[in-house]
Amino acid sequence: MSEGITAEKLLGTIMDTFTDSVPKQKSLSFFEEDKSNSVSAQMNRLLGRQKTIHNILGGGKSADVLLWRNKKISGSVLTGATAIWVLFEWLNYHFLSLVFFALVIGMVAQFVWSNASGILNRSPSKVPRFVVPEEIFANIGAEIGAEINRCLRFLQDVACGGSLKQFVMVVFVLFVAAIIGSWCNFLTVFYVGFVAAHTLPVLYERYEDQVDNFVYNLFGQLQNQYSKLDAGVLSKIPKGNLKGKKSE
């Protein structure tokens, strides 16, 4: 007959699941699964960094922007995102209105440019043409599609073949995300995530040791409190027989 599940074991399962949701160091996708068995080993890989933050973020220009290797570029990207959020969220501008106004301004500028030579009695100058490369849209669509498919594969793997603790953790995360989504619209959630991506990695890279110590102490205190709760209250609750009777 199998033993009953205690609250301390349940806490260990929750902590295992939390660290299982962290991607492997050899993979750069958020949705890859960590197979390690030891909670402390997983936390060391998460916070101790066997690889640098730059490598974990994929390296290259995107990681340089997120880690503020070039402060002008990173500041410009964050400022542009903030301006867009302020326009749509605070000033209540509409996307189509801004697009059409931008098109009107562009057409007026090109009209003045093309006719200024005749008014000023100068030789006609060639009006610059603005063309967006088609490869940009193809690359963006391919990247978005790949990430969506990776996310769907991960959710289906957890639902069909994953462990119970992974299933419970993923459902809990989705439930929390649904609650957060009910508090604000998609643009605000996207902007908050964008700002977090441009602030949390660089802050962690700068204060890695302090963050590690804080997280280790926090998890130690949580486990200690749940152990006391289990010893004083939860362990006294009668447990049902988890093993079904064998059919004759």
Inter-residue contact 8 to 229 (CB < 8 Å):
no
Does residue 53 belong to any structural domain of this protein?
yes
Does residue 181 belong to any structural domain of this protein?
yes
205's CB contacts (< 8 A; 6+ apart) are 53, 67
Does residue 163 belong to any structural domain of this protein?
yes
Burial track 172-197 (b if 16+ CB lie within 10 A, e otherwise): eeeeeeeeeeeeeeeeeeebeebeee
Report how many domains make up the chain. 1
What's the average model confidence in pLDDT over 83-97?
A: 87
Does residue 239 belong to any structural domain of this protein?
no
Does residue 119 belong to any structural domain of this protein?
yes
Does residue 60 belong to any structural domain of this protein?
yes
Least confident of 48-57, 86-95, 116-125: 116-125
Does residue 124 belong to any structural domain of this protein?
yes
> In the prediction, which pLDDT does 247 show?
46
Model confidence at 35, in pLDDT bands (50, 70, 90)?
Answer: very low
Q: Which domain holds residue 188?
A: 7-213
Distances (CA, A) of 122 to 28, 109, 114, 127, 129: 57, 18, 11, 14, 20
Does residue 242 belong to any structural domain of this protein?
no
pLDDT tens by residue, 115-136: 876 666 666 667 777 888 888 8
Model confidence at 77, in pLDDT bands (50, 70, 90)?
Answer: very high
What does pTM read for this prediction?
A: 0.56
